[in-house]
Chain A
Amino acid sequence: MIPAAFEYAKASSVDEAVKLLDKYGEDAKVLAGGHSLIPLMRLRLAQPKALVDINGVKGLDHIEAKGDKLHVGALVRHVAIHSSDVVRDKLPILADVASEVGDNQVRNMGTMGGVVAHADAAGDYPTIALMLDAEIVTNKRTIAAKDFFKDLFTTPLHADEIVTEVVFPIANGPHKYIKFRRRLFDWAIVGAAAQKLNGHWRIGLTNVGPTPVRAKSVEDALAKGAKPEEAAQHASDGLDPAGDLRASPEYKKHLARVLTRRAIEQAQ
């Protein structure tokens, strides 16, 4: 539980952060909230040679609605998303999700950019981003969410690329995110999101595979007029989740179906 030695540098701008990342090369890691990275380092599962701390970078903590988009800066903390009137007004499902991430310590430190870049299968924001066709903006380019979450902990980000913001469509229609977990502060064993956007349901699933999942077959069934309980039966189509200490693959697939139905039914 004592990390290996590493160098530490604090950046005050995105440019400076990129320069530092160039300097340290592949073995450097960006430090934002640190609530995933630091525990991995303490267990020595991650042993970066250097940390580039971007917490001092200005201009990455914005929450702005522009046209039909909601822009959330990479350094916006969960607590800020949860308590933002703009988010509650323009994309309330995101505020709901933020309120259920981890515990108070995590919510006070963890960031939008950190969760997205870490690409943990159990992360909640990636599900919302994928489901809503959000865009991940970096210092170099804009990447569609469907092209971003490649595999477990795997994204197309280069070593010197930093997420600067995530751009969501505005969606304030009926919505619900159900995070099935044993303890209040846990990750989702399985999560299911339902959001009505432009008259159509979008359905997303958390932690049922190496990446977030958009349940297109459920969406299609709903579009064809299927009842929620019928459509939700498709939630496990094509899923092959890994089992873990909390849930067997079979149970996760079952939960995907049950939670999807409940999310649709409870959406408001």
Chain B
Amino acid sequence: MAVTQLVGAKIHRREDPRLITGHGHYLDDFTRQGTVYASFVRSPFAHARVKSIDVTDASKAPGVVGVYTARDFKGQLTGTHPTTPAFTAAKKYVPERFPIAEKEVCYQGEIVAVVVAGSRAQAADGANLIQVDYEELPAVMDLEKALKPGSAKVHVDGPDNIGWDIPYTGPEVTDAAFKEADVVVKERILQNRLAPVPMEPRGVLAEYESFDKKLTIWLSSQSPHFIRLFVSGSMGLKENQVRVISPDVGGGFGSKISPYPEDYLVPALSRMTERPVKWIETRTESIQNATHGRGQFYDVEVAAKKDGTVTAMRVTQFLDIGAYHGTFAGFQACACLMAGGAYKWKGGITARTIGILTNRVPTDPYRGAGRPEATHLVERMIDLVALELKMDPVDVRKKNFVQPEDFPFTQNFGLVIDSGDYEKSLDKALQLAGYSDLRKKQADLRKQGRYLGIGLSTWIEICGFGPSAATAPATGGIALVESAQVRVTPTGAVMVYTGTHSHGQGHETTFSQLVADQLGVPMESVDLRHGDTAEGTAFGYGTYGSRSLAVGGVAVSKAVGKVIDKGKKIAAHLLEAAEEDIVFEHGSFHVKGSPDKAKAFGEVAFASYGTGLPEGVEQGLEATAYFDPPNLVWPFGAHVAVVEIDAETGNAKLEKYVAVDDCGNIINPMIVDGQIHGGVVQAIAQALYEEVVYDEASGQLKTGTLTDYMIPSAGEIPQLIVDKTITPSPTNDLGVKGIGEAGTIAASAAVINAICDALSPLGIKHVDMPASPDKIWHMMKEARK
């Protein structure tokens, strides 16, 4: 980048005036003439046989257009739910899934019928009148019991409950290191199941025009092109008959990547009723049915030397798949591949993932997806090693960090970490937290019977998915590269189309900053468009896995580069100079050494649509680019949490939180800070508050409202201290890495390490999430006995 006026500046988000004044266009803001409304009848049981469905009363209810059950969709939709075909599993069972259940329901909330009516209320009333005769079956809820031979089965006709079993590396890899270890620490570490709870729940509006045989779907989605691919296939339509529009989207956190049953059923209903059909998810439906995150436990062992050197790790991931495989459920197994964290493990890592089916809603990527779990387990284990050896957790970390001179560093699973400077970010975080003073304060307070704890998380992340070679097998052939198109109109207005999708990330601002700088035009000349499959390139890959800037942004930059190259050809012709003598800077093409012999970008744009172009140059000024990154990108950082635990009530109060993160070069520091804030709070929420709770016997969801599913508010979170180091990524020309998930990947470990540190005088070594006051009080009480 030649000019850096906008890149790196704290520019207010262009989308905010629209969004915060209520002028955004979310899914429910769209309605077509003649729209009818769908309401779904969902199983109240975690597992049951559907004996019969009586729709008589519902069919006669006021305003009801039609009532539909599985049989009605048989000729409309084909195929099973798309799942990651990816990896080679020693054992694998993927149950078939049709968007609407016919004979057996396998989680509470699974759809068995749908009512279409003239209004939302009429549809809801109609749905209430449907009588379903269920025969309840045993619900499989416990992961360990589900694995046992003879366990009740999640699907009565399934072979067992093992969705996958993948030993990445065998025990022999680490045998020697464990034999030679001075100490071995072991722990079972839980990952509580989380509901994504985006501010805007899901929703679908579909209009099938039977004359033209064209389908338009408005959908609150993170990846509209993938939805077009899946839904067109299931409905027997060509992709060019289907247009998916994902307008302003109020958050996704991963839960709006994969297709859902409603994404198929609502378009099919539009084709069946020949009416536009709309469905907006209620909050309870959202907590019950939007794919959950985490829901795992890990058995971990670490071998270490007396001097604090960690040598080897053995880790087994037990992952609750839910009743069906989420489309990208398998991605969560990356926790195993990232279990080594920021450290060297010369004695190897033994890793295995077991995906277990249960009668719960499916899990799928949720902000961080596998990487928060990896951070949490490795950062906990490092602290356990420190505790065992009576060392400062800082020293154990520094002793084992991959060092700056080691990069690019090939870690235990062959992934190549492109860059890093872990000690630098840790030192900065410790300084901002006042670490040595905190340790003194802790010692003083302990003498008074008070429990102050300091927790560290020196996290790393793999993101920016991803190189075609790595990702195509995981998606069934479509590589997660990214596309961009840049079009310049005759008057020099710039339209940028990206295949990524903004649902809170602020792409309209950051991508415009990037383009405006590169072209030397004001930001106002740049319009960033996304989310409509009828615009831009043939395929866009969506936004998840902190990929938008590191892949999509680079594609945009490449497309802009192509526009500039063509501009140079035209400018050279206009200036009667050789193309190689044309320099483009500050929005102007000039002849090298003669800044006054120049044509402004706008003049060249206008000329490109005129006559007298150089020979062989076509009219117009636009370009398309795809970027296939050579590697993933590797952000990192260091977080410090300070917690005081009330000795009487067990309440853990977060006193201070410091986050120092490194995402390489930064386009807009304010947006980066915002992502850190949101991500950190989301992980604090996991550590202290949030948990999807089902009744372990019946499989009934007990946290179906925001009263019971506890999302913290600003009142519970201290002012975050956020800072950065900058280590540019060598993987792309912009030197950027992702930042969307970093806070979530980092923070739960810092908070829980602080809690365990606080409780260590009582001999408590590990506390699982969420660390509620009741749980901590019980542990303290036991420990004091």
Contacts and interface: CB of A to CB of B under 8 A. Distances in A.
Interface in B679-733: 689, 693, 702-703, 705, 708, 710, 712-713, 715-716
B282 interface: yes
Given A4-B125, A183-B715, A184-B715, A43 B284 contact: yes
A246 B120 CA distance: 34
Interface stretch (B404-412, B445-453, B771-779): B771-779
Contacts of A4: 125, 128
Contact of B712 (A1, A43, A183, A247): A183
B649 A183 contact: no
A134 interface: no
A258 B649 contact: yes
A43 B283 CA distance: 10
A156 to B, nearest CB: 28
B282 A1 contact: yes
Interface in B762-785: 772-774, 777-778
B703 A245 contact: yes
Interface size of B as a range = 20 to 34
A158 interface: no
Interface in A94-112: 103
Contacts of B651: 180
A2 B710 contact: no
B648 interface: yes
Contacts of A246: 772, 774
Interface size of A as a range = 20 to 34
Nearest to A254: B777
A263 interface: no
A2 B712 CA distance: 25
A258 B648 CA distance: 7
Nearest to A250: B778
Contacts, number: 55
Given A182-B689, A183-B710, A2 B777 contact: no
Interface string B188-208: 000000000000000000000
Residue among B120, B648, B712, B774 with the highest chain A CB neighbour number at 10 A? B774
B443 interface: no
B336 to A, nearest CB: 31
Contacts of B27: none
A183 B709 CA distance: 12
Given A2-B120, A245-B693, A247-B774, A44 B713 contact: no
A8 interface: no
Interface in A52-89: none
A183 B690 CA distance: 12
A43 B128 CA distance: 12
B578 interface: no
Residue among A183, A185, A245 with the highest chain B CB neighbour number at 10 A? A245
Nearest to B715: A184
A184 B716 contact: yes
Interface in A219-268: 245-248, 251, 254-255, 258
B643 to A, nearest CB: 15
Contact of A2 (B121, B705, B774): B121
B713 A183 contact: yes
Contact of A180 (B124, B649, B693, B710): B649
Nearest to A4: B125
Interface in A18-66: 39, 43-44
A138 to B, nearest CB: 29
A185 B284 contact: no
A264 to B, nearest CB: 14
Contact of A185 (B708, B715, B778): B715
Contacts of A2: 39, 120-121, 124, 282
B200 to A, nearest CB: 14
Interface in B99-150: 120-121, 124-125, 128
Contacts of B772: 182, 246
A245 B774 CA distance: 10
Contacts of B773: 182, 247, 251
B777 A251 contact: yes
23 contacts: A1-B283, A1-B284, A2-B39, A2-B124, A5-B125, A39-B705, A44-B128, A180-B651, A182-B689, A182-B712, A183-B710, A183-B712, A183-B716, A184-B716, A245-B693, A245-B702, A245-B703, A247-B773, A251-B773, A251-B774, A251-B778, A254-B777, A258-B648
Q: Which 8 A-B residue pairs are closest in the complex by CB-CB distance?
A: A184-B715, A1-B282, A2-B124, A251-B774, A258-B648, A247-B774, A2-B121, A183-B713
Given A43-B284, A183-B715, A247-B774, 19 more contacts: A1-B282, A1-B284, A2-B124, A5-B125, A39-B705, A43-B705, A44-B128, A103-B713, A182-B772, A183-B689, A183-B710, A183-B712, A183-B716, A184-B715, A245-B708, A246-B774, A247-B773, A248-B774, A251-B778
